[in-house]
Amino acid sequence: MKGFSRTLIYVLFIVVIFYLFALKAQRSQTVELGRYPLHFLSGKEYEGTVTFKRRGDGTEFLVIKLNTRAPEEMIVLLTDQDGVTREVGRFQGATFIISLPEPLFFERVKKIELQAAGGGQIWAETQIHKES
């Protein structure tokens, strides 16, 4: 009785490799949950957007993009549906990316504020209005 040919084993090995790459690509897909404009309270020369995304593994993250670098260090504050405000991070550039903390999900976020770290004044904010 003859065993499997070497060529058949190589072909099966290549098929399995391609299948694993396809699974990895499918899991790594990122879906945009929502995109909202930032409303700046001081200085009209700034523009920005807030984007919520979900990775293939189910984790959610927040991306804040400004058209230019922030003038000073900013504190990012998230307010949930219960009215509880949490600091989720600080940034000093034009882009801020962070995974949402475990108790917060996109569905629970109601408002995002950028607060100047030095003066404590609110610099920009956005209200999250979800489609029903």
**pLDDT value, residue 82:** 87
CA separation, residue 67 to residues 3, 8, 112 (Å): 64, 55, 18
Tell me the domains of the chain and their CATH numbers.
29-127 (2.60.40)
Contact (Cβ atoms closer than 8 angstroms) between residue 110 and residue 81: yes
Give 13-46 pLDDT, tens digit per residue.
Answer: 999 999 888 877 766 678 888 999 998 887 668 8
Give 37-70 pLDDT, tens digit per residue.
Answer: 998 887 668 889 999 998 877 888 999 999 988 8
Three-state DSSP state, 42: coil
Three-state DSSP state, 112: strand
Q: Give the DSSP per-residue string, 93-105.
A: SSEEEEEPPTT--
pTM: 0.73
CA separation, residue 110 to residues 5, 22, 92 (Å): 62, 36, 24
Rounded distance, CA 71 to CA 121, Å? 13
Of 92, 100, 85, which Cα lies nearest the Cα of 116?
Answer: 92
Percent of the chain scoring above 90 in pLDDT? 31
Q: How sure is the predictor about 2, in pLDDT bands with cuts at 50, 70 and 90?
A: low
First to last CA, the chain: 65
Q: How sure is the predictor about 107, in pLDDT bands with cuts at 50, 70 and 90?
A: confident
On average, the pLDDT of the chain sits at 85
Q: What is the CA radius of gyration of the chain?
A: 22
